[in-house]
Amino acid sequence: MLIKRSPNGIELPFSSEITSREVYESRRSFMKQIAAGAIGSAALLEMANREAFAQGVNPKLAAKLNPSYSALDKQTPYKDATSYNNYYEFGTDKSEPAMYANTLKTRPWTVTIEGEVKKPMTLDIDALLKLAPLEERVYRLRCVEGWSMVIPWIGYSFSEIIKKVEPTGNAKYVEFVTLADKKQMPGVGSRVLQWPYTEGLRIDEANHPLALLTLGMYGETLANQNGAPVRMVLPWKYGFKSAKSIVKIRFVKEQPRTSWNLSAPNEYGFYSNVNPEVDHPRWSQASERRIGEDGFLARKRKTLMFNGYADVAPLYAGMDLKKFF
Ligand code: MTE
């Protein structure tokens, strides 16, 4: 992944620590124009939406905390979780998704589920919200770049989808295909990755109760920059496995190609389980820094095997995790 470094090799400060000039300017001009009575109602609504977006106010989403799947770690402040993001469809800089993802239209939205299933279906976002009881789960998410966050996500186990569509005996893998629309996503014009961003899991991984089909965070629907309206969160894997803004889910026979694996196969494997003993070719994975809590030059936490989610270990029994990284 592209890590931004200063010329002396030190990582640059978090964008979340710098007030976005664009947000600041747009707020000032919004207030001035309202005061001058210069804005019509449609424009007012549009600007109010942008203002709400800048402040991270999304519709509320009720969910019951699932304590058995929740980490007790201190939660990452909302401001950090929504301003330090990887979402290359909106730019490669960590601050860009928060600045540009307001162009993403998250309604209407459908997810098509197809391939090796007895009951293929297309579900809209309201159907997905009602498919199973929503749970809040506080998960650690560890990025392959060496930072982590602790976020109260809202959703339900992906196994609920699997039950509903009834995979055939040929379904060995699940492929997640995400939106790639140049009109809404300025980064899709770039060649940094092959679009659409795709990810995949073995079907038994997808069926593990920890694999979360995610529709919200912090008591609200997902912020656009975090992958609204629907994404995966796989807390035992590096963050790039958790595809954002999913439009298609395919049950397939063969292991699917995935965007990061296509771009650098020796750096980003299909499994990408968090593993402090298997270094990335360009950096160590033994430690990490917690966004919003540790100082930006610190790298002091020890990274845990499977990011601390030891429940998943049986999925990989007998596998050489250095080979299947
Ligand atoms: N999904 C899409 N569609 N596009 C992306 O660029 N980035 C991935 C993952 N999902 C990405 C994506 C990476 S590298 C990480 S670390 C996580 O999203 C970041 O999720 P967050 O911004 O909610 O912390």
Intra-chain end-to-end CA distance of the chain, in Å: 16
According to the model, what pLDDT value does residue 34 have? 42
Atom of ligand 1 nearest to the CA of 197: 3
How far CA 231 is from CA of 40, 102, 261, 278, 279, in Å, comes to 35, 17, 19, 27, 27
Taking the CA of residue 282 as centre, how many other CA atoms within 13 Å lie in the half-sphere pointing to its CB?
Answer: 11
Q: pLDDT tens, position by position, for the chain (325 residues)?
A: 765 543 333 333 333 333 333 443 444 444 445 445 555 554 554 454 445 555 557 999 999 999 999 999 999 999 999 999 999 999 999 999 999 999 999 999 999 999 999 999 999 999 999 999 999 999 999 999 999 999 999 999 999 999 999 999 999 999 999 999 999 999 999 999 999 999 999 999 999 999 999 999 999 999 999 999 999 999 999 999 999 999 999 999 999 999 999 999 999 999 999 999 999 999 999 999 999 887 766 768 999 999 999 999 999 999 999 999 9
261 and 270 in contact (C-beta within 8 Å)? yes
243 lines ligand 1 (CB under 6 A): yes
How far apart are the C-alpha atoms of 279 and 277, rounded to whole Å?
6
- Angle between the N-to-C axes of helices 21-35 and 41-55, in degrees from 0 to 180, rounded to the nearest 10: 150
User: Who's near 301: CB < 8 A, 6+ residues apart?
Assistant: 148, 287, 288, 289, 290, 294
141 and 149 in contact (C-beta within 8 Å)? yes
How far apart are the C-alpha atoms of 224 and 233, rounded to whole Å?
15
Burial 103-128 (b: 16+ CB within 10 A, else e): ebebeebebebebbbeeeeebebeeb
| DSSP E strands, the chain | 64-65, 110-115, 121-124, 135-142, 147-157, 173-178, 198-202, 212-217, 220-221, 231-233, 246-252, 287-290, 301-302
Query: Is residue 86 included in any domain, yes or no?
Result: yes
Atom of ligand 1 nearest to the CA of 179: 3
* CATH number of the domain bearing residue 262: 3.90.420.10
Ligand 1 centre from 89 Cα, in Å?
A: 10
DSSP secondary structure string, 287-303? Answer: EEEETTTS-TT---EEP
CA proximity to 135, closest of 116, 118, 151, 154: 154
Cβ-based neighbour number of residue 317 at 10 Å: 6
How far CA 266 is from CA of 256, 321, 325, in Å, comes to 16, 14, 9
Number of structural domains (the chain) is 1
Query: Is residue 289 included in any domain, yes or no?
Result: yes
Query: Is residue 249 included in any domain, yes or no?
Result: yes
Burial 35-51 (b: 16+ CB within 10 A, else e): eeeebeeeeeeebeeee
Query: Is residue 18 included in any domain, yes or no?
Result: no
Query: Is residue 24 included in any domain, yes or no?
Result: no
How far CA 211 is from CA of 36, 155, 241, in Å, comes to 51, 10, 11
86 lines ligand 1 (CB under 6 A): yes
176 lines ligand 1 (CB under 6 A): no
How far apart are the C-alpha atoms of 323 and 235, rounded to whole Å?
21
Cβ-based neighbour number of residue 204 at 10 Å: 12
245 lines ligand 1 (CB under 6 A): yes
The residue written with tokens 């929503």 in the block is: 134
SS3 76: coil
How far apart are the C-alpha atoms of 297 and 69, rounded to whole Å?
30
240 lines ligand 1 (CB under 6 A): yes
Ligand 1 centre from 32 Cα, in Å?
A: 36
Query: Is residue 223 included in any domain, yes or no?
Result: yes
Query: Is residue 182 included in any domain, yes or no?
Result: yes
What is the residue range of 285's domain? 62-316
How far apart are the C-alpha atoms of 115 and 98, rounded to whole Å?
34
The residue written with tokens 């200063």 in the block is: 6
Dihedral sign from CA coordinates of 209, 211, 213, 216: positive
pTM of the model as a whole: 0.85
242 lines ligand 1 (CB under 6 A): yes
Query: Is residue 9 included in any domain, yes or no?
Result: no
